[in-house]
Copies of this chain bind each other. A is one copy, B any other.
């Protein structure tokens, strides 16, 4: 088999996840280089996985004419610039989310990608989660009838460091953004959002200008309604659920758990807490999204998630922020497109 050659930019946690997916599970591709501004990190991953080259400077990857596709796994503020350069270099792109925290920069990426005619897939991995993908499939098959109410619960086991909160753009851009994409994945375009938000987990989060507990009411263009509820901390772990109610039925995804064992004694019947966090819960979805990206590149197919999806999720996050700021429902059309 002629494997396509891939370069990875960013050797942190998510870069390693993708590197392992390709090395162990995707025979159509091979990683030929990895870069990181902490070059020791790139070196370590390269040695572990047998990747021939590692660099400090990602331009080395973009310059390599053998490389067909790049994975952008660096810090968020670098995504857009690297994506533009990669597009100019004619590379297909897998870019971690969010693409950027501004509409303007994402639009530059869209322009660059369109001009170069390369593919760009955004890392909205939850679309590939076995549970959520199954619900999407039920909806596609008409088993749910006309969709009426979409409910998404998304709670983290622990808040991120305050330093991250200060630069992340806030809960709606760093956390709800995944749920906005899920809402669009299931229910199509959103017309309006209304957000309630509060600080109940840690006052330091409030002091940093963010909130930690939020609820976003959604109106979809289809007429359906929806709600997302978020919290930075659930004491029982990573709570990731979806319920879709329609005229033909209702589908709901419970959390995944480490085991299916029940233990019962005089105190009650005890089953497992959810899998700890996103690496445990969504591990298979990371492999599946990468499989789809490689397949799209090798066989020239469209991908399920595009830079446009990244843009729309960002705009929904900005609309939610505006809703909180002005304490009113906000139409998505009010946000720069």
Contacts and interface: CB of A to CB of B under 8 A. Distances in A.
A265 interface: yes
Contacts of A201: 247
Contact of A329 (B25, B131, B194, B267): B194
B213 A196 contact: no
A114 interface: no
Given A255-B260, A260-B255, A235 B143 contact: no
Nearest to A256: B260
Given A217-B217, A329-B327, A250 B263 contact: yes
A327 to B, nearest CB: 6
Contact of A236 (B196, B218, B224, B266): B266
A27 interface: yes
A270 B224 CA distance: 24
The number of times this chain is found in the oligomer is 4
A249 B233 CA distance: 11
Nearest to A24: B24
A11 to B, nearest CB: 17
A258 interface: yes
Interface in A128-149: 130-131, 134-135, 138, 143, 145-146, 148-149
Given A329-B327, A329-B328, A253 B259 contact: yes
A254 B249 contact: no
Contact of A265 (B249, B265, B327): B249
Given A143-B265, A260-B131, A261-B252, A227 B217 contact: yes
Interface of A: 23-25, 27, 48, 130-131, 134-135, 138, 143, 145-146, 148-149, 151, 155, 194, 196, 198, 200-201, 213-215, 217-219, 223-227, 229, 231, 233-236, 239, 245, 247-256, 258-273, 327-329
The 6 residue pairs across chains A and B that have the minimum distance between CB atoms? A249-B265, A24-B24, A254-B260, A268-B270, A236-B264, A134-B259
22 contacts: A134-B259, A134-B261, A143-B263, A143-B265, A148-B231, A149-B215, A196-B218, A196-B219, A196-B225, A198-B219, A198-B224, A200-B223, A201-B247, A229-B245, A233-B247, A236-B269, A249-B266, A254-B260, A267-B270, A268-B272, A268-B273, A269-B270
